[in-house]
Amino acid sequence: MTMTESPPSEAAESTEPVAATPGAGLYDALTTSDHKAIGRIWLRLGLLLLLGVAVLGVLVALEGTSADGADVFGGVNAVWQMQGLYSVGLVLLVVPALTIGLATIVVPMQVGSSNIAFPRAAAAAAWGFVVGVAIMVVSVLAGGGWGALDGVSGGEADAIELTLLGMGMVAASILLACICLATTVVSLRTPGMGLMKTPLFAWSILVSASVWILTLPVLIANLIIIVVDLRGGPLLFGNPEGTTMIFDQVHWVLEQPAVFVLGIPVLGIIGSIVPVVAGARHIAHAGLMAAIGVAGLLAVGGWSQPAFSDQRDELLFVAFGLLAVVPVLASLALNSLTLAKAGPQVGLPPAQLLGALGAGLLLLLGTGAGALRVIGPFDLIGTGADAGVVHLVAYAAVVGLAAGMWFWASKIGGYALPNAAGLGVMLDFIGAAVLMGAAHVLIGFDFASGLNDAMAWVVFVGAILAVLGAVGVVSSVASAKRSGDEPGDDPWHGHTLEWATVTPVPAGNFVGALARVTSEAPLLDVAEQADSDEGGAS
C-alpha cells in the first residue's frame, strides 16, 4: 500500500458508501489528511491575507497621493517596508494561497482521485505556509523587510534576515504544494483519462505547478545567497548606509514574465465554466490545452533576474513579453466561440460567467500592458507600469479564483454562495484591477505631473474597491455557511467528475467505482447517451 490512495481500478467492484467527511473543527484541521480540509485551510488563509493586503494597499495608495508623502507609516523606511510587504503579499501570498486552496479541493475530484498525492506533505505545505507568513509579517513589522533606505541597525539586520527566511519558507511551502498537485494530475487520473482528456482546470494547475517548480527554487537560491552574504559579511547586500539591493535581487518574481504564472489557472477556470454555461463541450479542447501550455512556457521567469545581468533589453525578454498576449487571446477566442456556437443556457447565475470572462479580459489587459512595457522606446521598465502589470494580472487571478469559488462552492464547503453578492464582488475586483492597473501604467508613461497626481488618487479609489471586494467574499462565505441552504449535488449540470459526487463531498470523494472515462466531459457523455437512448426508445 502507499501513502496515497491508488487510482480507482477499472476492475474494482462497487464498494460500500464511504464515511462522511470528518468534522470541521480545529483539531481536524490540524491533523487532517483529507484534501478538501487541507484546501479549506489554504482558502481561509488566502481570504484573510486578501483582506489584510487589500487594507494595506489602501494605506500604501494613500501614502502615494502626496508628493511629500502622507506619512501614514511614520518614516521613509516604514513606507519602503510596507510597499515591499504589499507587493510580495499580493503576488506570493494571496494569489498562491487562493489558487492552491481551490486546486487542492477541486483537482483530485476532477481527475477522479480519492485524495491528493502525498496528503501529509500537502498538509505540511499548508502549515509551513502559515508559519512562513507569520515569520515574514511579524519580522517586517519588527523593522525588517527587503532592505532599508535609512541605514540598517543591528536589530533591523536580524529582522531583515528573518523576513528573507520567512519568504523562503513561504516559497518552499508553495513548492511542496505544487509537487503534490502536479503528481496528482500526472499519476492519479482515473482510468481512461489520458492527459489530453484532463479537465482544463486540472491541466492549468499542472502547468502552473510545473512553472512554479521551475521558478521557486531559483527564488529560494536568491534568498539563500542574500542571507549567507548578510551573515558572513556582508559584501553584496548589507550596505549599512541604506540599500534597496535586496529587493532588487528578488523582485523579478513580482515582475513579468514570472508574474504571469498567476494567470494560468484563470485560463483553466474560464475553460471549466464556459462549457457548463453553454451546455456543450468545447469546440477545441486540445487547442485550449495548447494555449494554457504555451502560457506556461512564457511564464517561466527564473532566467530574467536583472540583479546579476540585466536581460531586460535582450530579444528573449522582449519576445516573452510580446508573445504572452497570444495564448490569452487564443484562449478567450476559443471560449467565446464555444459560447457563441451553443448559446448560453437560460437561468444560470451570471456571477460566475461575469467573473470568468472579466478575469480573462483583465489577464488580456495585463499581458497587453506587459507587451507595452517591453517595447524599448516607451521606456516603461522601472516605472509605474511595473506595478500596473502586477495589479492587472494579480487581480485577474483574484477575480478568476472568486468565480471558481462561486462555481465550486458546493464542493468546497457544501453551501451555495449568493449570486447577487457574487456579482458585487466580481464588479468590485474588476473595477479595482482596471483602476489600479491603468492608473499605474499611465503614471509609467509620465505624461504630466498633474495627471500623475490624479492617477495616484485613482489608485487609491481602486484600492478601496479591492477592500470592498475582499469584504464581500468573506461575508458571502460566512452568510452562506450560516444559511444552511442545500445546493444539491450538481447545481450547474457540470461536465467533469467533481460533479459526479454527492454534496457535501464524503471522505474518499466518490461513492463506488467510477466508470471508465472516454472524453474530457464524462458527465456530458452520460447525459448525451441518456438523450440518445430516450430518442431511440421514442
Partner 1 sequence: MFTTGFKFYFGLAAALVLSALVYGYATGGEHVGPLTWGWKGGVGEHIGYTMLMAGGVVASTISFVIVAFRDADPSAQAHYLGVDEIVPTATVTGSYWPVVGAFGAGVGLIGLVLTPVLFVGGVVICSLTAIEWMMDAWADRATGDAEANAALRDRVMAPFEIPVAGTLAVGVIVLAGSRIFLNASKNGAVFWAGLIAVAIFGLGVLYAAKPKLNRNIIAGLVLSCGLAVIAGGIVAGVDGEREFHPHEPHGDDYGDDSHAEDDLSE
Residue from 300, 389, 393, 432 that binds partner 1 (CB under 8 A)?
300
Nearer to partner 1, 273 or 517 (CB): 517
Residues 370-389 that bind partner 1 (CB under 8 A): none
Minimum separation from the CB atom of position 334 to partner 1 (A): 29
Picking from 290, 281, 276, 275, the residue whose alpha carbon sits closest to that of residue 207 is 290
Q: Angle CA(380)–CA(88)–CA(184) in degrees, nearest 5?
A: 110
236 binds partner 1 (CB under 8 A): no
Residue from 4, 110, 198, 335 that binds partner 1 (CB under 8 A)?
4
Q: Angle CA(345)–CA(348)–CA(354) in degrees, nearest 5?
A: 100
For the chain, the maximum distance between any two Cα atoms, rounded to a whole number of angstroms, is 85
Contact indicator for 44, 24 with CB cutoff of 8 Å: no
Count, residues near partner 1 per rule CB under 8 A: 71
Q: What does the per-residue mask of binding to partner 1 show for 476-495, with x meaning CB under 8 A?
A: --------------------
293 binds partner 1 (CB under 8 A): no
Chain-centre distance for alpha carbon 158: 31
Contact indicator for 331, 296 with CB cutoff of 8 Å: no
Distance CA 103, CA 272 (A): 13
Minimum separation from the CB atom of position 74 to partner 1 (A): 17
Picking from 397, 399, 392, the residue whose alpha carbon sits closest to that of residue 373 is 392
Q: What does the per-residue mask of binding to partner 1 show for 314-353, with x meaning CB under 8 A?
A: --x-------------------------------------
Nearer to partner 1, 3 or 420 (CB): 3
Residue from 12, 20, 333, 478 that binds partner 1 (CB under 8 A)?
12
Picking from 402, 386, 283, 263, the residue whose alpha carbon sits closest to that of residue 333 is 283
The dihedrals phi and psi of 243, each to the nearest 5 degrees, come to -155, 150
Residues 6+ apart with CB under 8 A from 267: 200, 204, 288, 291, 292, 295, 327, 328, 331, 360, 363
Nearer to partner 1, 54 or 170 (CB): 170
Q: Which stretch binds partner 1 (CB under 8 A): 113-121, 191-199, 422-430, 529-537?
A: 113-121
Minimum separation from the CB atom of position 135 to partner 1 (A): 6
Nearer to partner 1, 153 or 475 (CB): 153
How far apart, in Å, are the Cα atoms of 54 and each of 47, 58, 429, 462, 470? 10, 7, 11, 10, 7
Q: Is 147 helix (H, G, I), strand (E, B) or coil?
A: coil
Residues 176-235 that bind partner 1 (CB under 8 A): 179, 183, 186-187, 213-214, 217-218
Nearer to partner 1, 73 or 212 (CB): 212
Half-sphere exposure of 103 (CA within 13 A, CB side): 35
Minimum separation from the CB atom of position 473 to partner 1 (A): 24
Write out the three cell numbers for 9: 481500478
508 binds partner 1 (CB under 8 A): yes
Residues 6+ apart with CB under 8 A from 195: 189
115 binds partner 1 (CB under 8 A): yes
Residues 117-176 that bind partner 1 (CB under 8 A): 117-121, 123-124, 126-128, 130-132, 134-135, 138-139, 142-144, 154-156, 158-159, 161-162, 165-166, 168-169, 173
Residues 22-61 that bind partner 1 (CB under 8 A): 22, 25-33
Distance CA 160, CA 249 (A): 14
DSSP states of 256-324: TTGGGGGGHHHHHHHHHHHHHHHTS--TTHHHHHHHHHHHHHTT--TT--TTTS--TTSHHHHHHHHHT
Minimum separation from the CB atom of position 12 to partner 1 (A): 7
3 binds partner 1 (CB under 8 A): yes
Q: What does the per-residue mask of binding to partner 1 show for 241-280, with x meaning CB under 8 A?
A: ----------------------------------------
Nearer to partner 1, 159 or 202 (CB): 159
At 416, which amino acid appears?
A: A
Q: What does the per-residue mask of binding to partner 1 show for 387-416, with x meaning CB under 8 A?
A: ------------------------------
Minimum separation from the CB atom of position 18 to partner 1 (A): 9
Kindly state the DSSP code that residue 65 receives in the 8-state scheme: T
Residue from 11, 235, 346, 448 that binds partner 1 (CB under 8 A)?
11
Residue from 65, 239, 244, 311 that binds partner 1 (CB under 8 A)?
311
Nearer to partner 1, 260 or 492 (CB): 260
Q: What does the per-residue mask of binding to partner 1 show for 72-111, with x meaning CB under 8 A?
A: ----------------------------------------
Question: Quick one: residue 514, left, alpha or beta (phi over 0 = left, psi -120 to 50 = alpha)?
Answer: beta
Minimum separation from the CB atom of position 168 to partner 1 (A): 8
Contact indicator for 177, 45 with CB cutoff of 8 Å: no
